[in-house]
């Protein structure tokens, strides 16, 4: 049974309202349009849509917990190094301030240059490790979480096939869910699948 034109008209007017009022972004509009188009095209056969809460999976899956722990350890190590560099620099500034009265102009310029060089080194290190988007921490995050993501995606695909679902959305991703029936929440089935190692 096809969706009547009057319903499509109302849907499009509602989407237009949401966009003009700034309620949803254009990508969400496109997602909604594609979703409604899919429903219209496949109205003859029932569709099953599911969603997962990726935050629940990432906080309960042992591999994800270990990956996050490894990433946190690396972040803490580099943060401690930045803090140490900053404390050292502050101490050197304080030492120079105490000696200013006894220094020649040439010595002052030399110390000033040394302090500026150390400050630049500290900022360069911080940017190298934490700068967005190419900082080492973001590259390490991708590397550390790649096997976890692969395993999660495989489990989602398997559960979706087992449940006969055509679509599965991530509740915590970029996709906005305006309504989610908990009957279609497969988060814990995916988590169970991952823990059983299937």
| Segments making up each domain of the chain, as ranges | 1-47, 70-134
CA distances from 123 to 75, 110, 133, 190 (A): 16, 20, 16, 43
Own/partner pairs, 3-8, CB within 8 angstroms, 24+ separation: 3/39, 3/40, 3/43, 8/36, 8/40
pLDDT per residue, tens digit, the chain (198 aa), is 455 556 655 665 665 565 565 555 555 555 555 555 555 544 455 778 888 888 999 999 999 999 999 999 999 999 999 999 999 999 999 999 999 889 899 998 999 999 999 999 999 999 999 998 889 999 999 999 999 999 998 898 899 889 888 888 888 866 655 456 777 888 999 999 998 876
The tokens 């449940």 sit on which residue?
163
The tokens 């509740």 sit on which residue?
171
Let me know: does 165 contact 50? Beta carbons within 8 Å. Answer: yes
Q: Which two tokens stand for residue 48?
A: 């099953």
pLDDT in tens, 150-171: 999 889 889 988 988 888 888 8
Size of the chain, expressed as the number of residues it contains: 198
CA distances from 134 to 138, 149, 194 (A): 7, 20, 31
Backbone angles phi, psi at 67, to 5 degrees: -60, -45
Full-model pTM:
0.65
């Amino acid at each position: 049974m096809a969706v009547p034109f009057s319903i499509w008209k109302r849907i499009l007017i509602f989407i237009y309202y949401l966009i003009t009022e700034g309620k949803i972004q254009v990508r969400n509009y496109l997602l909604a349009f594609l979703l409604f188009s899919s429903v219209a095209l496949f109205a003859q056969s029932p569709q099953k849509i599911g969603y997962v809460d990726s935050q629940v999976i990432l906080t309960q899956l042992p591999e994800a917990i270990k990956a996050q722990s490894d990433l946190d350890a690396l972040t803490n190590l580099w943060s401690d190094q930045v803090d140490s560099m900053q404390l050292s620099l502050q101490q050197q500034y304080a030492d120079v301030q105490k000696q200013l009265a006894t220094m020649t102009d040439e010595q002052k310029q030399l110390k000033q240059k040394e302090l500026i060089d150390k400050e630049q080194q500290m900022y360069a290190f911080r940017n190298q490790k934490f700068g967005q988007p190419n900082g080492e921490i973001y590259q390490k995050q991708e590397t550390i979480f790649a096997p976890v993501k692969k395993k999660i995606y495989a489990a989602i695909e398997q559960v979706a096939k087992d449940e006969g679902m055509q679509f599965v959305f991530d509740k915590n991703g970029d996709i906005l869910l305006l309504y989610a029936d908990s009957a279609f929440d497969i988060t814990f089935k995916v988590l169970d699948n991952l823990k059983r190692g299937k």
